[in-house]
Amino acid sequence: MSLNHTATVFSIGNISIAGKLILAPMDGYSDSPMRLVSKQFGSAISISEFINAIDIKQGHPHLLSQIKFSDDERPFAYQIFDDKPERMLAGALKLREHNPEYIDINMGCSAKNVSNRGAGAGLLKHPLKIGQIVESLVKHLDVPVTAKIRLGWDDDSLNYLETSRIIQESGASAITVHARTRKMEYSGSARWDAIGEIKAQLSIPVIGNGDVKSLADAERMMAQTGCDAVMIGRAAIGNPWVFSGSQREEQSQTELLRVVELHLHLMAEHYGEKIGVMLFRKHLTRYLHGYLNTPEIRKHIYSLEKEKEFFKAITKLVNQSHPTETS
Ligand SMILES: Cc1cc2nc3c(=O)[nH]c(=O)nc-3n(C[C@H](O)[C@H](O)[C@H](O)COP(=O)(O)O)c2cc1C
């Protein structure tokens, strides 16, 4: 079964999706450069980091880099979060002006500063509000609307069957399920069975998410749950090869350096050289797992601000050393 190429297609509303592996939205990571690199390896949809509707209203300075995307990323979706239905709608209408293929609503963020104010996974405590929000976005937007949920706030309030049904009945075109509760944050194992239960009761596409680290895991999740596609988050950081069915550890040094150079360059283009190089460090740590072994090496590499000298130092390091398991 090929999950990562154009053979298998599903649809989100009227948008055809060519592929079944999707890069998960990840604040601080899945910006335009990471999405472009992931797309080259087969990620079927590009979804923005979550965007705060309050920031849209107030015109926060970092919005520009969050909103900017390239046509090469398409199909592209903005993800938005808030706790206030009217502000969410106003934000979504603004985002719509930039021509995404669809808009996704975050109902799963577990971060305390988001969920404790009733946004992200905080919405799961208020199924009626979920219905209101989805309905109003569906009514006022001329692009499909989707939602990304968790299983509930905690084990005493597992309401995923109710919330997913409300989301579908309110007109959403697809749903993504991170199969953990808000309380679990990122601990324990994702409960894939719940994805299967949701899939069994819905007719809209269900995208499964949680703990998928390889193509084999994705195939297992699809077989076990019947979900239409699979979203990969943490395992894709510094590892875009996962979307084409292999892993970073299997790559030659030449291929590793090719992708690092590409990603670094896209970062420098997107953010400007200085900030792009600085922000790339967290990706580099993952790309070079096993190479950045000593504090001296890290200090040296991370002191470099120019794209060319930064990449030169990386090339030298990779060519001189053999990766170890510790980094
Ligand atoms: C650093 C980080 C940032 C995240 N930011 C977002 C976000 O902006 N929107 C969202 O829906 N989920 C966000 N998530 C959750 C992921 O999309 C995904 O649901 C979660 O990581 C589980 O998938 P995984 O096991 O493949 O990592 C984030 C996760 C991480 C690790």
For position 240, which CATH number holds?
3.20.20.70
Three-state DSSP class for residue 206: strand
Three-state DSSP class for residue 324: coil
**Is the domain of 275 the same as that of 313?**
yes
Three-state DSSP class for residue 221: helix
- The predicted model scores a pTM of 0.96
Element (H, E) at 128: helix 127-140
The CATH number assigned to the domain holding 308 equals: 1.10.1200
Task: Look at residue 4 in the predicted model and tell me its pLDDT.
Answer: 47
Residue 13 falls inside a structural domain:
yes
27 CA → ligand 1 middle, Å = 7
- Given CA atoms 257, 260, 264, 270 in this order, what sign does their dihedral have? positive
Closest ligand 1 atom, CA of 234?
Answer: 27
Residue 294 falls inside a structural domain:
yes
Ligand 1 near 134 CB (within 6 A): no
**Is the domain of 99 the same as that of 134?**
yes
Task: Look at residue 7 in the predicted model and tell me its pLDDT.
Answer: 54
Ligand 1 near 148 CB (within 6 A): yes
Which residues share a beta bridge with 275?
none
Catalytic residue list contains 109 = yes
Terminus-to-terminus CA distance in the chain, angstroms? 35
Q: For residue 195, give both structure tokens.
A: 């994805």
Final residue belonging to a domain, choices 200, 226, 244: 244
Helices (H) and strands (E) in the chain, counts: 13, 10
Residues 109, 172, 198, 215: which is the catalytic one?
109
Cα 214–chain centre separation: 16
Task: Look at residue 5 in the predicted model and tell me its pLDDT.
Answer: 52
Ligand 1 near 213 CB (within 6 A): no
**Is the domain of 89 the same as that of 219?**
yes
180 CA → ligand 1 middle, Å = 11
**Is the domain of 147 the same as that of 276?**
no
Please list the pLDDT of the chain residue by residue as tens digits (327 residues). Answer: 445 455 558 999 999 999 999 999 999 999 999 999 999 999 999 999 999 999 999 999 999 999 999 999 999 999 999 999 999 999 999 999 999 999 999 999 999 999 999 999 999 999 999 999 999 999 999 999 999 999 999 999 999 999 999 999 999 999 999 999 999 999 999 999 999 999 999 999 999 999 999 999 999 999 999 999 999 999 999 999 999 999 999 999 999 999 999 999 999 999 999 999 999 999 999 999 989 888 899 899 999 999 999 999 999 999 988 766 544
Residue 231 falls inside a structural domain:
yes
Q: How many CB atoms lie within 10 A of CB 77?
A: 27
Ligand 1 near 235 CB (within 6 A): yes
**Is the domain of 104 the same as that of 198?**
yes
Q: Whose CA is nearest to atom 19 of ligand 1?
A: 178
**Is the domain of 269 the same as that of 158?**
no
319 CA → ligand 1 middle, Å = 33
81 CA → ligand 1 middle, Å = 13
**Is the domain of 148 the same as that of 274?**
no
**Is the domain of 191 the same as that of 282?**
no
Residue 327 falls inside a structural domain:
no
Ligand 1 near 232 CB (within 6 A): yes
Residue 34 falls inside a structural domain:
yes
**Is the domain of 206 the same as that of 238?**
yes
The domain tally of the chain equals 2
110 CA → ligand 1 middle, Å = 9
**Is the domain of 175 the same as that of 272?**
no
Q: Whose CA is nearest to atom 29 of ligand 1?
A: 26
Which residues share a beta bridge with 52?
81
Final residue belonging to a domain, choices 217, 244, 271: 244
Q: CB of 167 within 8 A of CB of 104?
A: no
**Is the domain of 96 the same as that of 228?**
yes
Final residue belonging to a domain, choices 224, 244, 264: 244
**Is the domain of 239 the same as that of 256?**
no
Q: What share of the chain is helix, strand, coil (3-state, %, to 5)?
A: 50, 15, 35
Tell me the residue range of the domain where 135 lies.
Answer: 9-244
